[in-house]
Structure 1
Amino acid sequence: MTIGPFSVAIVAIICWAVVELINGPKGKKRNKKDDQDIAALQQEVLQCKERIATLEKIVTDEKYDLKREFENLKRDSAA
């Protein structure tokens, strides 16, 4: 299979479209509200990452597994 000029043009157009989608429309400047929204979203992502890290520590803790097993035994014996 050879790569012809048509294939190169198609790839170039696709790359250009992806860059345009990522960068957004030209000439549109972010305003203060956009910056505040971005900062708020970044803060929310940070908080979510911290919560996920905490949950991962809890779930991977050996004591958590042991407590869960005891709870399962209690439920099984009660049923």
Structure 2
Amino acid sequence: MNLTAIAIIAIICWTIVKLTSKDKKAVKQEPVQDQQKNELQQQIHTMQERIAVLEALVTDEKYALKREFENLSRNRAA
């Protein structure tokens, strides 16, 4: 074998090793990413529930009526 062939084989082997080691790292990181994804989805779900409660409070007729009374009392005071 000449020196060029040895260099080419070494480069090919090095590339194969690097490619396979990246796949192993990606597999190790997937559970962490899945866990983060699940946590974020849970937080979004919780926030959606809280927003729904706040919307119900603000759109309630009693809340609107109370705000109107507060505005009227402020106008009288001024």
TM-score (norm 2): 0.58
**Greater Rg over alpha carbons, structure:** 2
Structure 1: which 5+ runs fail to align? 1-26
Task: Say what the alpha-carbon RMSD is for the aligned residues.
Answer: 1.7
Q: Which amino acid aligns with 2:52?
A: A
Residue aligning to 2:70: 71
Uncovered stretches (5+) of structure 2, i.e. residues with no partner: 1-22
Deviations 1:14-54 (A, max 9, x none): xxxxxxxxxxxxx6545222112111100110011101110
Aligned residues: 53
TM-score (norm: length of structure 1): 0.57
Q: Whose helix fraction is larger, Structure 1's or Structure 2's?
A: 2
Q: Give percent identity, aligned residues only.
A: 53
